[in-house]
C-alpha cells in the first residue's frame, strides 16, 4: 500500500517517468502503468484527501466485482474427491465432464480454486490424496493378544499385524505368534491374498525384520524382503524415520483395529493363535462394512468400487519364504547349512558366497549369479555333492570304480565278477579298487585270455585276492582244466567199527 502512495507521489508531485518510478519502487513498469490508470479511472489525484486511508485507497483502486445475479451450479466435491483417487483421473478431466453438463458453470481456474478451498475444510486424514491401487500401509499393533497353553497354563503373547489400502482404507488384520522375519513376510502374503491383488507400493515402518539400514533418503531392505517385493512386482517405500504421517493411514488404522477388535476380545481366553484369528475374522468383516461417519459408504464399498479394479493380479505361484546367509566356502568346496554340506564349483573354494535357504532348496550365489542349487537335506551330516563341481582329477577318482568295471567287462565276465567281488568284500572302497586295478593290469603280462581263465579258477576256488590270481598265472594253473573235488562217500556201518558211543560208555576200554 505504501508503494501505491509513493507511485502516485512520484508521478503527480515529481513528474517522474514510468521507468524511473518502477526503478525507484522496485516494481515492474506494467504495475506502475496499471496503478496510474486505475487512479485516473477512479478520479484520484495528488495530494490525496486526508480522510483517504490506505484501505480506502485500495478499495477505490480495486473495487469488488459486482455480485452475479445468477448462481452457478456447484460441483459435488465429495464425488470429485472420490474420482480423483482413480488412476489417470485429473481435475482437468473432471472439470471437462462438469462443463459438459453445465456449460454456464465455473471456468477451470475457479473450479480448481473452489475444490482446494473445500479440501482444506475436510478432515486432516483426508488431505492426503491416495490413488486407487497405489499404496498399502503395514504395521504391528501395540496391543497384544494373550495365548494360554492348555497343558501348562503358561501365557505367551500374539501380535496383531495390520494392513490397510490408501484410497479405500480397506483393512486386513491377523494375529501372528512372533514379529520375526518369517511371520512379517507371511502376514504380507496373506494381506495381498485377502485384498485379491497387488498395489504399486507397500509402505512399512523401519522394522529390523524388513529394513537392514533405516535411512532418511535411501533405506536398505534385507534380502528376504527385497525378494518378496520382486516376486510380487511391488515397490517397498519405508516411511522416513520420525515421520509418522508418511504412513498416516495405518497409524489411524492400528488404533481403530485395537479399539474395534482387540478391546472387544479382551475378556476371551485363547488357547492358540488359530483360535484368536477365528475370533478376529468376523470383527474384521464388521469393521470393513461399518459406515463412514463423515462421508457416504464404507471401507468395503469403497474398496469394491475403487480399489479392487485398480489392483494388479496376484502371481500364479505363491511366495515361498527363504532365509539368506553369507557363508564362506570350505576348502573342500562345500558350504555348511544347518549341519548339512552342499557342494559348489571348486573355483569358489574359500570365497564368501550368499546362500538362499528355503524349505525345499539350497541355492548358492556369487556376484548375483547362481552357481549351485541342491535339494535341501534333512539329516545332520548329510552331504550333497555334484560331480560337475569337482576338479577333473577328483571327478576321475569318483568315477574310477565304474571305469574299472567297464575295463574288466571288456576282458571277460569272470574278470568283471572277480573285480566286483573285490570291491564288495574289502572294508574300504579304495582297497577294493586298488586290488581290482592290479587284477586288470595283469593283462599287460599274461594277456586277456589267460587272465579270464585265471579269474574263473579263482572264483571257483574262492581265492578272491589279487595275489591268488597272480599265483595262478605264475604257476600256469590257468592252463590246466579245473575239476572241483568229488564229494567223499559216507562210511558204511561195519561190525568192527566201534563208533563214538563206545567211548562214551562207562564200561568201554581204551
pLDDT category, 492, cuts 50, 70, 90? low
- Give whole-number Cα distances, 241 to 142, 213, 217, 235, 298, in Å: 18, 11, 10, 18, 31
Same domain, 366 and 412: no
Same domain, 154 and 254: yes
pLDDT of 191: 93
Q: Is there a contact between 418 and 458 (Cβ–Cβ < 8 Å)?
A: yes
pLDDT of 50: 73
What residues have CB less than 8 Å from 288, skipping those under 6 apart?
A: 170, 171, 298, 299, 300, 303
Q: Is there a contact between 121 and 143 (Cβ–Cβ < 8 Å)?
A: no
CA atoms of 334 and 385, how far apart (whole Å)? 8
pLDDT of 400: 61
228-243 pLDDT, tens per residue?
888 898 888 887 665 6
Q: 507 in a domain, yes or no?
A: no
Same domain, 453 and 427: yes
**Backbone phi, psi, residue 481, to 5°:** -60, 140
Q: Is there a contact between 132 and 310 (Cβ–Cβ < 8 Å)?
A: yes
pLDDT of 510: 43
CA atoms of 43 and 211, how far apart (whole Å)? 70
Q: 71 in a domain, yes or no?
A: no
Same domain, 164 and 297: yes
pLDDT of 124: 46
- 502: part of which helix (H) or strand (E)? helix 500-504
Window from 43-52, 95-104, 334-343 with minimum mean pLDDT: 43-52
- Report the chain's mean pLDDT, rounded to a whole number: 81
Q: Is there a contact between 420 and 409 (Cβ–Cβ < 8 Å)?
A: no
pLDDT of 229: 87
Grid cell, residue 490, equals: 559216507
Same domain, 332 and 351: yes
pLDDT of 158: 92
CA atoms of 171 and 287, how far apart (whole Å)? 8
364-403 pLDDT, tens per residue?
998 888 989 999 888 888 888 887 877 765 555 555 677 7
Q: 350 in a domain, yes or no?
A: yes
Place of cell 495405518: 250
pLDDT category, 427, cuts 50, 70, 90? low
Q: 72 in a domain, yes or no?
A: no
pTM of the model: 0.53
Rama region for 498: left / alpha / beta (φ>0; ψ in -120 to 50; rest): alpha
Q: 333 in a domain, yes or no?
A: yes
178-223 pLDDT, tens per residue?
988 889 899 999 999 999 999 988 888 876 776 766 565 566 777 8
Domain end point (choices 362, 390, 418): 390
Q: 317 in a domain, yes or no?
A: no
pLDDT category, 129, cuts 50, 70, 90? low
Same domain, 384 and 450: no
CA atoms of 240 and 224, how far apart (whole Å)? 21
Q: 315 in a domain, yes or no?
A: no
Per-residue pLDDT at 272 exceeds 80: yes
Same domain, 33 and 140: no
Same domain, 12 and 31: yes
Of residues 324, 323, 325, 329, the one with CA closest to residue 352: 329
pLDDT category, 62, cuts 50, 70, 90? confident
- Domain count for the chain, please give it: 5
CA atoms of 182 and 165, how far apart (whole Å)? 22
Domain end point (choices 249, 281, 310): 310
The CATH number of the domain where 153 resides is what?
A: 3.30.420.10
Same domain, 250 and 196: yes
Rama region for 443: left / alpha / beta (φ>0; ψ in -120 to 50; rest): alpha
The distance from CA 109 to its chain's CA centroid, rounded to whole angstroms, is 46
pLDDT of 384: 87
CA atoms of 435 and 438, how far apart (whole Å)? 5
Classify the C-alpha dihedral 382-388-390-395 as positive or negative: positive
Q: Is there a contact between 287 and 257 (Cβ–Cβ < 8 Å)?
A: yes
pLDDT category, 19, cuts 50, 70, 90? confident
pLDDT category, 126, cuts 50, 70, 90? very low
pLDDT of 394: 57
Same domain, 255 and 168: yes
Show the domain range for 446.
Answer: 393-479
Classify the C-alpha dihedral 497-500-501-502 as positive or negative: positive
Place of cell 519364504: 321
Q: 498 in a domain, yes or no?
A: no
334-372 pLDDT, tens per residue?
888 888 889 898 888 888 999 998 888 999 998 888 989
Same domain, 341 and 264: no
CA atoms of 337 and 95, how far apart (whole Å)? 62
Per-residue pLDDT at 71 exceeds 90: no
Domain end point (choices 247, 280, 310): 310
Per-residue pLDDT at 2 exceeds 80: no
Residue 168 has what DSSP assignment? T
Same domain, 263 and 172: yes
Amino acid at each position: 500500500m505504501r508503494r501505491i502512495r509513493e507511485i502516485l507521489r512520484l508521478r503527480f508531485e515529481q513528474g517522474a517517468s514510468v521507468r524511473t518510478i518502477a526503478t525507484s519502487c522496485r516494481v515492474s513498469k506494467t504495475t506502475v502503468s496499471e496503478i496510474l490508470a486505475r487512479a485516473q479511472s477512479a478520479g484520484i489525484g495528488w495530494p490525496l484527501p486526508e480522510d483517504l486511508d490506505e484501505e480506502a485507497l485500495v478499495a477505490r483502486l480495486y473495487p469488488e466485482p459486482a455480485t452475479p445475479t445468477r448462481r452457478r451450479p456447484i460441483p459435488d466435491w465429495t464425488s470429485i474427491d472420490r474420482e480423483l483417487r482413480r488412476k489417470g483421473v485429473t481435475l482437468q478431466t473432471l472439470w471437462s465432464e462438469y462443463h459438459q453438463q453445465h456449460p454456464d458453470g465455473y471456468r477451470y481456474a475457479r473450479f480448481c480454486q473452489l475444490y482446494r478451498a473445500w479440501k482444506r475444510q475436510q478432515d486432516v486424514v483426508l488431505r492426503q490424496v491416495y490413488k486407487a491401487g497405489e499404496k498399502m500401509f503395514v504395521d504391528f499393533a501395540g496391543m497384544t493378544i494373550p495365548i494360554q497353553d492348555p497343558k501348562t497354563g503358561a501365557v505367551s503373547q500374539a501380535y496383531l499385524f495390520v494392513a490397510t489400502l490408501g484410497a479405500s482404507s480397506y483393512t486386513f488384520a491377523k494375529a501372528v505368534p512372533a514379529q520375526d522375519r518369517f511371520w512379517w513376510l507371511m502376514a504380507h502374503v496373506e494381506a495381498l491374498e485377502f485384498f485379491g491383488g497387488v498395489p504399486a507400493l507397500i509402505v512399512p515402518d523401519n522394522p529390523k525384520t524388513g529394513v537392514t539400514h533405516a535411512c532418511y533418503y535411501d533405506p536398505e531392505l534385507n534380502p528376504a524382503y527385497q525378494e518378496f517385493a520382486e516376486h510380487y512386482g511391488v515397490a517397498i517405500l519405508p516411511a522416513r524415520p520420525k515421520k509418522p504421517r508418511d504412513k498416516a493411514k495405518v497409524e489411524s488404522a492400528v488404533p481403530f483395529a485395537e479399539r474395534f477388535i482387540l478391546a472387544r476380545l479382551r475378556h476371551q481366553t485363547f488357547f492358540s493363535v488359530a483360535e484368536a484369528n477365528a475370533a478376529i475374522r468376523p470383527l474384521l468383516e464388521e469393521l470393513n462394512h461399518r459406515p463412514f461417519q463423515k462421508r457416504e459408504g464404507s471401507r468395503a464399498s469403497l474398496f469394491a468400487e475403487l480399489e479392487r479394479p485398480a489392483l494388479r493380479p496376484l502371481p500364479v505361484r505363491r511366495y515361498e519364504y527363504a532365509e539368506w546367509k553369507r557363508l564362506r566356502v570350505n576348502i573342500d568346496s562345500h558350504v555348511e547349512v544347518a549341519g548339512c554340506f552342499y557342494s559348489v564349483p571348486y573355483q569358489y573354494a574359500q570365497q564368501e558366497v550368499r546362500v538362499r535357504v528355503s524349505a525345499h532348496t539350497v541355492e548358492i550365489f556369487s556376484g548375483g549369479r547362481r552357481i549351485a542349487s541342491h535339494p535341501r537335506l534333512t539329516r545332520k551330516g548329510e552331504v550333497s555333492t555334484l560331480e560337475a563341481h569337482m576338479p577333473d582329477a577328483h571327478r576321475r577318482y569318483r568315477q574310477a570304480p565304474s571305469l574299472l568295471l567297464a575295463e574288466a567287462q571288456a576282458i571277460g565276465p569272470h574278470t568283471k565278477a572277480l573285480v566286483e567281488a573285490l570291491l564288495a568284500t574289502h572294508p574300504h572302497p579304495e582297497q577294493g579298487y586298488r586290488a581290482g586295478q592290479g587284477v586288470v593290469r595283469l593283462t599287460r603280462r599274461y594277456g586277456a585270455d589267460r587272465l579270464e581263465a585265471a579269474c574263473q579258477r579263482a572264483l571257483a576256488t574262492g581265492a578272491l585276492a589279487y595275489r591268488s590270481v597272480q599265483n595262478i598265472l605264475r604257476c600256469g594253473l590257468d592252463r590246466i582244466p579245473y575239476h572241483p573235488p568229488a564229494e567223499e562217500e559216507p562210511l558204511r556201518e561195519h561190525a568192527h567199527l566201534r563208533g563214538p558211543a563206545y567211548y562214551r560208555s562207562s564200561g568201554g576200554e581204551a
